[in-house]
Amino acid sequence: MTKSIAQKQPGSSAEDRFLWLEDRNSKEALEWVHRQNALTVGELQGDPSYRAAFETALDLMTAEDNIPVGAALAGHVYNFWQDKTNALGLWRRTTVASYKTEKPEWETIIDFDQLSAKEGVKWVFGGASRLYPDFDRCLLSMSPDGGDASEMREFDIVTKSFVADGFRAPASKSGFSWLDKDTVIVSAAFAEEDKTQSGYPRVIKLWRRGTRLEDAEPIFEGEKHHLAVGGGVEFDGDKRHVLLGKTIDFFTSHSFLRLPSGENRRVPLPDDATDTAIFKGQLVFGVRSPWTAPDGTRCLPDGLYSVDFDRWIETGTFEPIETLLKPERRVSIAGLARTQDRLFINLMDNVRGKVVVCDRTDKGWSLKPVGLPGNGNVGISHAEHFGSSVSFSFTDFLTPSSIIWSDDDGVTVKTAKSQPARFDASPYVSEQFEARSKDGTMIPYFVVRRRDQEGPVPALLYGYGGFEVPLLPGYAGIRGRLWLERGNAYVQANIRGGGEFGPAWHQAALKGKRQKAFDDFAAVAEDVVRRGITTAAQLGIQGGSNGGLLTGVSLTQRPGLFGAVIIDVPLLDMLRYTDLPPGASWIAEYGDPSKPEDAAWLASYSPYQHVAADAAYPPVLLMTSTADDRVHPGHARKMAARLQAAGHARTLFFEETEGGHGGRGDRRPQAAQTAMRYVFLQRALSTGPKSGSRFSDNPVLD
């Protein structure tokens, strides 16, 4: 039986010899990071194929003919744009009419490269809350390092300048929205007493112009153990609702309506309500588990329901409940969006998208499909809340993305923007298969490969499987150029834990049932091998964040099933994840390691504790970011250190110093990391070991 390091060094911090790597910015930890980076850069960027891969990735990330995705508001389309000249990007706008032309005339609102040069901080745009009804003022969010924590400043869009003596708050994970032109709703996470244990806002305050942030008036509070609170104004025609909410955990919350009297009245929805919207006096909602409403209506997951919200405000009567959309097998709700006069429902039907438009009259609800392309990934790109414009995105693995626009609530639609093809897709085919998991459940997955493929080829399998997040078909020019064009295959697995088939698909792998997601992923890997698409030695896997946990578990549980493993911005030490902020926010997904029962199932798969000295692991590449304030870089650091200490020298580690969890900011480091991943895969899966490299059987350790 394999003797693992976990037996010698259990998960307690007292016995964790690499605990010091959790100190994000300590001199000792960063020196270790720099040594690891130097080795990995030398190995991967030193490869003869790297430079061309980097240039290709950067060219495609910053191409001037990329689609400028935008959202319409009061006659303008707003867009954030990055290219080679504008590394940190431009926030800009154009008229709706100009946007539809081949070469829109853009008006720059903020040049973040210029601002960063002026202030000596690499500001990363994080969004803007615009002031109703003129939308000429905004609360601008900017991150100093690409992380989630952002600074807020009031900005005048007309004069293109920050407002002198306007609202301004230091970098934090707080949230800001307008109540009116002189009052901001602040979801505060500044002082420790204002934060939840996950580091998110716990208190909502009203901040009035001309007063100090410290003197803002508290109006709503959550508990320390809650995930977060948040608040904002929702408009329904000429009615304005101030909504406040307590997010208990990732999947349960309590919503409140703030009345003119100052009372915060709880909206009597179930704790796990989802997909909510206020539309023409109706509160639309879905549920994650079956719920019997006050009037006896049985509400089921994957359905949509509504209740007269205006009546509830006036009388307190939360009935009758109407069924807006009945549940259907393997059809789930991807999201809701509304214009002034229509409600749009984005659906997933067996991992393919479609959109339904809804209207509400005195006779009730009416629904009809929007005339969009089928058999691909269709999404709602934007819906103008105070107007009638709506746009949709369409793509699949072999079809470049396009934006389909409507100015009349989806009645007539026309393609407004199409991304040029980045590779010749004609030799390839996209197929959907199913694999039988360990418990008999059929797991769908997609394969993209050459239609004339004969015999197994190197393949990359990608997965996620968590937090109700679906993996949908999508075009990726970089993947086409750097992977498919080399004769390789791409596989995307729709494992349990994700949101492809609604809440039940997610809940099937929740907490103590997590092993099902790992079994699903292994079943897909075995199935592509069985079909002759690839071999175990030629199969690489990749996942990020929760997907990094997936690939970390796959490495330690089934090392012989894969030829290379990429682990991006991962969770890996599941016995200490709640001690690394904001890990406590994910207890509803994984469980609480401080509870013996939960600790038992977490310990059963936690990759960090299951590194085995005598296992035959394939080459591993771990990537993270010092600035990642969502998943702590300590996970990837410690895993790399433990693998190397156990003698697994084919372990590479790279840590970017900026960019946060999602790699926001300058595209150049993103392109470099992308190129290194493909170089790593190509070397590990297509070539034999190179003498003196970390892909050889006996490389020299640092």
- CA-CA-CA-CA torsion sign (541, 542, 545, 548): positive
Q: Pick the catalytic residue from 389, 401, 545, 625.
A: 545
- Single-letter code of the amino acid located at 458: P
Please list the residues that pair with 240 across neighbouring strands: 235
Q: Which of 301, 264, 404, 397 is nearest to 344 (CA)?
A: 404
The secondary structure of 477-488, three-state, reads HHHHHHCHHHCC
DSSP 301: T
Identify whether the C-beta of residue 17 lies closer than 8 Å to the C-beta of residue 9: yes
- Quick check: is 254 catalytic? no
DSSP symbols for 380-412:
EEEE-TTSS-EEEEEEETTEEEEEEEESSTTSS
CB count in 10 Å sphere of residue 215 = 9
Q: What is the DSSP string of 574-594?
A: TTTGGGSTTGGGGHHHH--TT
3-state secondary structure of 258: strand
What are residue 403's DSSP bridge partners?
393, 417
Is-contact 647 700, C-beta < 8 A? no
Question: Pick the catalytic residue: 76, 632, 635, 661?
Answer: 661
Q: Can you tell me the distance from the alpha carbon of 385 to that of 522, in angstroms, rounded to the nearest whole number?
A: 44
Question: Do the Cβ atoms of 635 and 570 come closer than 8 Å?
Answer: yes
Amino acid at 140: L
Strand order in the sheet with 428-436: 428-436, 442-450, 489-493, 459-462, 539-544, 564-568, 620-625, 651-656
Residue bearing tokens 């088939």: 501
CA distance 224 to 201: 10
Asked if 434 and 443 count as a contact pair (C-beta separation under 8 A), the reply is yes
| CB 89, CB 62: distance < 8 Å | no
CA distances to 269, 530, 536, 682 from 527, in Å: 42, 5, 11, 22
Q: How far is CA 217 from the centre of its chain?
A: 33
- Known catalytic residue: 385? no
- C-beta of residue 73 within 8 angstroms of C-beta of residue 386: yes
State the catalytic residues: 545, 661
